Amino acid sequence: MQILVDARHLAPLLLAVLLAACAAGTRPPHELPWSATRQFVLVVTADWDTSHGTLRTYARDADAWRSTGVAVPVVIGRNGAAWGVGLHPAQTDGPIKHEGDGRSPAGVFAIGTAFGYAAAENLALPYRALAADDYCVDVSSSPLYNRIVAAHDVGAAAVTGSTEPMRRDIHANGDDAYKVGFVIEHNPTGTPGSGSCIFAHLWKSSESSTSGCTAMAEPALRELLHWLQPQQQPVIALLPQSAYHRLRQAWQLPDVAENAQ
């Protein structure tokens, strides 16, 4: 039986399909904000509430992802993960990230500036040498929310309250957490209350957790930092297994099953 479709109805039908796909987080791959990236950092956790996961790195060869390096353990937020604000379309199948929830943002995010206690690091990423008066503002009502600022630039009053000191070795009893790390570009426009100051940094131990960052051992983090190349437009994704399996094809994510180390 031959089915004939009036061409006048094709455009509205196609538009409806595309809109439905976008709403479900399945827009066409060529429209994905990370479709040009050639370096992908992927963290997968067992579920929404676990504080531990595994990090893997991938490089794009032609149109396929190739695993690089080895899988390494990481720790995330003490209460697990929640959907953050990044490059991905909004999702509704899990908790939503908000300030102070103790969850790491789930989704796909740009990789920002590297930072550390040293005056310089031999990295391809732009690097910020942290000073004693550098803070990341985690006060939702502040106009500087979710930004790393220097107190001598913005004034002491702007970095009061619960603002995060970046030189934790000076302000937090010698803590080395931010000895080296990089910014995960969650909530880049600073929407109040949506979560702030999300980094990749050093862990205390494999049994620890964070307030919302992703942390790992120093050798693993340094290897990752030296691998990242800005011209490759690298991104980092954090997803519980259920979300990863649901979105892998639509979001063109690396296949962990085929590339696991």
Instruction: Work out the widest C-alpha separation in the chain, in whole angstroms.
Output: 78
pTM of the model: 0.87
Q: Under a CB-based contact definition with an 8 Å cutoff, are residues 232 and 34 in contact?
A: no
Residue, of 191 and 258, whose pLDDT is higher: 191
Local confidence band at 5 (pLDDT 50, 70, 90 cut-offs): very low
User: So where are the chain's domains?
Assistant: 33-259
The pLDDT tens digits of the residues spanning 92-137 come to 999 999 999 999 999 999 999 999 999 999 999 999 999 999 999 9
Q: Can you tell me the distance from the alpha carbon of 168 to that of 130, in angstroms, rounded to the nearest whole number?
A: 10
DSSP 164: E
CB 95 within 8 A of CB 82: yes
Compute φ and ψ for 61, nearest 5 degrees: -110, 115
SS3 47: coil
Tens-digit pLDDT profile for residues 232-242: 999 999 999 99
- 169-207 residue pLDDT tens: 999 999 999 999 999 999 999 999 999 999 999 999 999
Ramachandran category for residue 146: left, alpha or beta (phi over 0 → left; psi -120 to 50 → alpha): left
Q: Is the dihedral of CA 261, 211, 187, 20 positive or negative?
A: positive
Angle formed at CA 106 by CA 137 and CA 32, multiple of 5 degrees: 105
Exposure class string for 12-41: b at 16+ Cβ within 10 A, else e: eeeeeeeeeeeeebbbeeeebebeebebbb
Question: What token pair was written down for 113?
Answer: 């500036």
Reported as a single tens digit per residue, the pLDDT across 26-41 is 445 457 999 999 999 9
The first and second tokens of residue 165, run together, are 């000191």
Q: What is the mean pLDDT of residues 159-164?
A: 90
pLDDT of residue 162: 87
